[in-house]
Each structure stands twice: as C-alpha cells, then as structure tokens.
Structure 1
Amino acid sequence: MAVYRGFDQQELDREYSPSSEVADFDAELRAYAVESGRARRELPGYRELRYGPDAPELIDFFPAARPGAPLHVFVHGGFWQELGKEDSGFPALDLVPLGTAFAAVGYGLAPHWTVERIVEQVTSAVRWLVDHAAELGADPERIVLSGSSAGAHLAATALLDERLRGRIRGAALLSGVYDLEPVALSYVNQPLGLDPARAAALSPLHAGADALAGLPPVVLALGEHETDEFGRQQAEYAKALRGAGVAVHELLVGGRNHFDLVFDLGKVGTVLGAAVEALRRG
C-alpha cells in the first residue's frame, strides 16, 4: 500500500536510507571522526566554545591564522539523532589553511531533544557566532553557513530567523531535507515523534515566499549517488527559493555520495569547493 508519492513503506524507508547507496557506511562515519580528531590535534588555536547553558550547546572553533578572516559555520547531519560536533571538524583541515576560520556546531539529539528544540539550539549557535565573530578574529561581514543532510535542514531553518537577516554572506546546503512530511512517515520518525502538523511547521520548503525572500545566495549540492527523494527535495527547495527571488546555484557532484560530499566543502579544485569560495567572496 502506498504511503507517500506512490512509495510503499519499505520503498519510502529505503528512500530515506542514504546508507543504501554506499558500500561501507561505517567507514564513511569513521572518516568523519578520524579526520575531525586530526583537525583538533593539528590545527593551532582550536578551542571549544559555549553558546548556551545546556550540555550540548557547544561549538568546536578553529581560528584562521590572521584576524579579519572569513568564517565558515557547519551544522552536522545524522537525522537529528546521531553524530556530533566531534565528528564535524574535518572541513577545517582544508578551510583553515586557506585563511578561513571554521566552526562546527553542536546540538542536542533526539529522542532526548525535540526537533523544535534542536532548531532553536542551532539558530542560537549561529546567532552567537555572528554576534561574536569579531572577537573571535573573524569578519562578521563574511560568514558562510553550511550543513549536510539534517544539518542542511537546520541551517536552512536558521536562515529564516529575522535576527540573522542580512548577516550571513551565503549558505551551502548539502543533501538536504527541506520537507519533513515524508520523514514523519518513515522509519526515521521513530525517535523524532513528529506528527503531520509539526512536520509541516518545521519544513523550510513550506515557509512561504515572504519568509524566503531576502535570504542570501544559496548553493544546493547533491552527490551523484543519492536516492531519488533527496534529489526531489533539493529540486523543490531550489524552485521555492528562486520563486522568492533568492540566488540559487544547484550542483550534482559526480562520484560523491550523501556522506562523502561534505569532504569537498573546502577542497580547492572541486566544484563544491569553488562554489563555497564564491560565496565567501560574495
């Protein structure tokens, strides 16, 4: 029996299982942890910052060598229930040597934290970084916000905060989920507990043209090896953004999948790295 857009339950669950498109899911996640650990050990000046009173409200910060550098803010994925900032510092290995400061945002995970509370935490973290950029040695006029998978959803939702309007130079959203209706109908919802009304309210795709208007330029990127639903989500969000007058650069990155695409964020010579560099330059 179809439960969403012609998918039966098994098919829908597979569409929201990006690990089905990779040969070794565990190896992908190990690479996050190993390279993030290397960033903390090898990059000078690394420190952990607190942006709020609750235990998970922490940021791993990697300064650039010179003051006044651009700042790249990254929100990790994990379907709102896995991973952490400790697994998310690896892009700093590429970005910091290029003269860009890097911040990996930590937040609470489901089921202990609701998706609404997670959204609040990430938005608060981004606001805190914007407010404190100068004292961290970064240029508050050159901040790029990025996120992968559920992190792209969280970053896209943070962009809707009125207090951040005009304060983010651009956004890079990778393999994102922008409509939570199918998520609420899939296996992913077990720890989230979303109902249809909450899923709709939490969906950037349904924010409306007035809310989307005035957002900064957005890069939307997808790996070649992703399920069809992630492609549909990106295409529909791109259409909504363009309809609101937002500048959108869509990418389909050959050879990459849902998990390793993020390794290109700061890599010179990659299509994603070039697009992110263009955002920093404005």
Structure 2
Amino acid sequence: MDLHDWPGHGLTDAELDVAYNVRGKAGEELFGHHMRRYRALSDEAVDGLPGHRGVVYDEASGEALDVWGVEAGRLRPVFVFVHGGYWRALSRADSAFMARMLHGHGVATVVPDYTLAPAATLEEIVRQVRASVAWVHRHGPGHGLDPGRIVVGGSSAGGHLTGMTMVGGWQEALGLPADVVKAAMPFSGLFDIRPLVRVYVNEWLGLDGARAARLSPELLPAPRRCPAVVAVAADDGDGFLEQSRRFQRHWGPAAELMVVPDRDHFDVVLDLADETSAVSRALLGLIRAL
C-alpha cells in the first residue's frame, strides 16, 4: 500500500477537521438527543434481562464488562460490542441497546469498558479490548458464552477497535486461536487513523504518524480475513464514509459494505435495537453463518 495514499490526503487541516467532526455536523441539540437515546435504549434493553454485570476482564487495568442475554445450561453465540466516543467518552452503560433484540434470537451480548483517553494511550485501549475478547474465549463457558462463536462489532472509535481485533499478530501472545474472532461488524469505523494526527482528535490521542500507522487496521497484516459487514450511515461524516469504503475494498470478498440510508453517524448503530432493521438482519446473518 502506498503510505502517501491515506484517507483525505491532499486536504487542508481545516478540511480534515470538518470531515471528521461528526459532532459538529450533527449540532449540539441533535448530538445530545442521540446520547440520551443510547443510555435510555440500553437501560430498557437490559431491564430484567439475565446476565452478569461488572465482571472484571483485565486485572492490569481493572476494567469490567457486562454480559447480557444468557440462558442457563446453554452456550450462546456472543456479540462483543465496543463503544465509540472518539476513545474518550461513553461507557458500557450506554452501549447495550442491542442486547434484548439479540437475546430474542438466541445470542448473548458482551459490552466491555476500556480506560478512556487521555488517561490511557490508544495502544493501551487496543490491548484492553483484545483482552476482553480473550476473556470471552477463556471464561465464556462459565458465563453462558460459546467461545467458538465470537462476533465483534463497534461504532466509530469502537469500529476502529473492532478492526484491531480483526487483524492478525496479537492472538498468539494471548494464547488464542488465530480465528478467535469469527466475524465482525464495524459501524462508521476508522481504519487508517493517520489523518487524525492532523485534526482536533489528536489533542487527547497525542499520536504521531508512525504510531498512527501501527494502530491502523487497514495497514496491518491480516492473513485470515473473517466475514465482515462494514456499515456506515449515508449521512455520516465524509471522512467516515471514505474510511468504510476503503476498508471494505481492502478486506476484499470477505466483507460487504452496507451504506444505511436516512441515518447519521450517531443513530445508525441504534438500529441494532430493532430486529427488523437492515443492520440487525445483517448482524444476525453473520452469526447464523458461524
């Protein structure tokens, strides 16, 4: 890959800021509305749902995850959902809105927290998310989860972190099989984060070009390419639309690009609360194919 061919190459810093400032595009009123829906829909989804709350998955950081939608005596396929928030906001409490929908289709949901930037570097955040996948593989059976049917997804920054579980080169050190992630569904993800070195997001990431390249799923080896649906909103930020299109081409025939009409960067993933939505059908299709 041409290392000078990165998303937005040739744009000014101001133009890159616009391309990646989806909160600014939405406006504060709509952004606040979406954030309230994340928490309200998540609270509604897990109310009365069987599960395990606040399980520490990483002793080094003390970070925890929630398990939802399990059933006694059965191991269910599991959707590990990694929240967004540009690596510095949101939590697992805002990110379980799909749990009831998936429970109704025989699928469990795992939602991990991770230490937010700038308290943690992006390298450390990636390590923690991979550790959450390792926890599911090692300890899943004791919590109703099938370690052989793990699907990872996430939105925005969570889409980037999903990508960092899809690539190779990290599983062996954690004692995991190369195919521990059986399928993936990133939403509005960031897969080549070199442009962020030049935008406002770097105020809390503190990246340089070399570190950004090492943390970019599109630039990392992926000897096994798991089935994936790369989802993005039709009314997303220009930077996110370009990133999703490029990553789907990079991932090749194993990936499908899904551009969701009438949705923006923040509400496209909320469609996972609705079993009739196109994204829910796509996710369930990935899981049923395992």
* Both structures adopt the same fold (TM-score exceeding 0.5): yes
- Tell me, in whole angstroms, the C-alpha distance in 2 between the residues paired with 1:272 and 1:38: 20
Counterpart check, 1:184 vs 2:197: yes
Give the secondary-structure state (helix, strand or coil) at the position aligned to 1:73. strand
Match of 2:5 in 1: none
Contact 1:159 1:165 in 2 (8 A): no
- Tell me, in whole angstroms, the C-alpha distance in 2 between the residues paired with 1:85 and 1:134: 21
Task: String of CA shifts for 1:145-175, please: whole Å, max 9, x gaps.
Answer: 1111111111111222333522222100100
* Amino acid across the alignment from 2:231: A
Among 249, 263, 287, the residue aligned to 1:280 = 287
- Tell me, in whole angstroms, the C-alpha distance in 2 between the residues paired with 1:88 and 1:27: 15
Matches within 5 A, 1:138-217: 138-160=145-167, 161-162=170-171, 163-207=176-220, 211-217=221-227
The alignment yields a C-alpha RMSD, in angstroms, of 1.7
Task: String of CA shifts for 1:209-234, please: whole Å, max 9, x gaps.
Answer: xx212121011000111122111111
- Tell me, in whole angstroms, the C-alpha distance in 2 between the residues paired with 1:128 and 1:77: 20
Q: Identity of aligned pairs, percent?
A: 35
Contact 1:64 1:97 in 2 (8 A): no
Matches within 5 A, 1:58-69: 58-65=64-71, 67-69=74-76
* Amino acid across the alignment from 1:201: R
Give the secondary-structure state (helix, strand or coil) at the position aligned to 1:191. helix
- Tell me, in whole angstroms, the C-alpha distance in 2 between the residues paired with 1:40 and 1:280: 21
Task: String of CA shifts for 1:221-279, please: whole Å, max 9, x gaps.
Answer: 0011112211111111112111xxx5111100011111111122353222211111111
Among 65, 71, 83, the residue aligned to 2:78 = 71
Task: String of CA shifts for 1:120-168, please: whole Å, max 9, x gaps.
Answer: 0000111111222222112222221111111111111122233352222
Contact 1:33 1:88 in 2 (8 A): yes
* Amino acid across the alignment from 1:171: A
Give the secondary-structure state (helix, strand or coil) at the position aligned to 1:253. strand
* Amino acid across the alignment from 2:228: V
Give the secondary-structure state (helix, strand or coil) at the position aligned to 1:179. coil
Give the secondary-structure state (helix, strand or coil) at the position aligned to 2:126. helix
Match of 1:253 in 2: 260
Give the secondary-structure state (helix, strand or coil) at the position aligned to 1:7. coil
- Tell me, in whole angstroms, the C-alpha distance in 2 between the residues paired with 1:175 and 1:239: 15
* Amino acid across the alignment from 1:99: G
- Relative distance call for 1:164 and 1:82 in structure 2 (3 A) is farther
- Tell me, in whole angstroms, the C-alpha distance in 2 between the residues paired with 1:22 and 1:147: 20
Match of 1:31 in 2: 37
Task: Give the gaps of 5 or more residues in structure 1.
Answer: none
Give the secondary-structure state (helix, strand or coil) at the position aligned to 2:204. coil
- Tell me, in whole angstroms, the C-alpha distance in 1 between the residues paired with 2:285 and 2:47: 29
What is the CA-CA distance between 1:179 and the residue it aligns to? 0.7
Give the secondary-structure state (helix, strand or coil) at the position aligned to 2:205. coil
Task: String of CA shifts for 1:44-103, please: whole Å, max 9, x gaps.
Answer: 334221111245511011132351221111000111111111111111122112221111
Task: Give the gaps of 5 or more residues in structure 2.
Answer: 1-7
- Relative distance call for 1:173 and 1:266 in structure 2 (3 A) is same
Among 18, 24, 30, the residue aligned to 1:20 = 24
- Relative distance call for 1:183 and 1:189 in structure 2 (3 A) is same
Contact 1:170 1:218 in 2 (8 A): yes
- Tell me, in whole angstroms, the C-alpha distance in 1 between the residues paired with 2:100 and 2:69: 11
Match of 2:15 in 1: 11
Matches within 5 A, 1:106-125: 106-125=113-132
Contact 1:74 1:146 in 2 (8 A): yes
* Amino acid across the alignment from 2:21: S
* Amino acid across the alignment from 1:235: R
- Tell me, in whole angstroms, the C-alpha distance in 1 between the residues paired with 2:42 and 2:245: 31
- Relative distance call for 1:46 and 1:133 in structure 2 (3 A) is closer
